[in-house]
């Protein structure tokens, strides 16, 4: 599991609309990262132009989620830039629950 330290989030028209199209709000995505109990791994398949990460965990109300994100550096701080976010499908959620317990 990878640990990250970021000071905020980077949102613009591109990533906010893509993330919201799967039914999640920006507040819900930010809460997912602030909640703390998430698993992060490199997204090797989609890291050609910039390093991307996959995060799996639960929303603040307990719904299993996936978030793809990258980190952006400004001065000495890093921001999380979500690329895509969605709730897990039923089979994914079941597997996540089995592996995380």
Please report the DSSP string for 77-96 in residue order.
Answer: EEEEEEEEEEEPPHHHHHHH
Spell out the per-residue pLDDT of the chain, length 101, in tens: 677 788 899 999 989 988 889 889 999 999 999 886 899 999 877 767 888 999 999 998 999 999 999 999 888 899 999 999 999 999 999 999 998 87
Q: How many C-beta atoms surround the C-beta of residue 18 within 10 A?
A: 14
CA distance 48 to 25: 28
- What pLDDT score was predicted for residue 19? 87
- What pLDDT score was predicted for residue 64? 94
Q: Give the distance between the most distant pair of CA atoms in the chain.
A: 41
- What pLDDT score was predicted for residue 1? 60
pTM of the model: 0.88
């Amino acid at each position: 599991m990878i640990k990250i330290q970021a000071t905020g989030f980077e949102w613009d028209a591109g990533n906010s609309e893509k993330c919201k199209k799967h039914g999640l709000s920006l507040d819900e995505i930010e809460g997912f990262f602030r909640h703390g109990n998430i698993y992060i791994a490199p997204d090797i398949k989609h890291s050609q132009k910039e390093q991307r990460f996959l995060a799996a965990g639960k929303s603040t109300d307990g719904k299993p989620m996936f978030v793809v994100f990258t980190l952006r550096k400004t001065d000495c701080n890093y921001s999380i830039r979500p690329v895509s976010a969605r709730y897990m499908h039923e089979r994914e959620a079941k597997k996540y629950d089995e592996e995380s317990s």
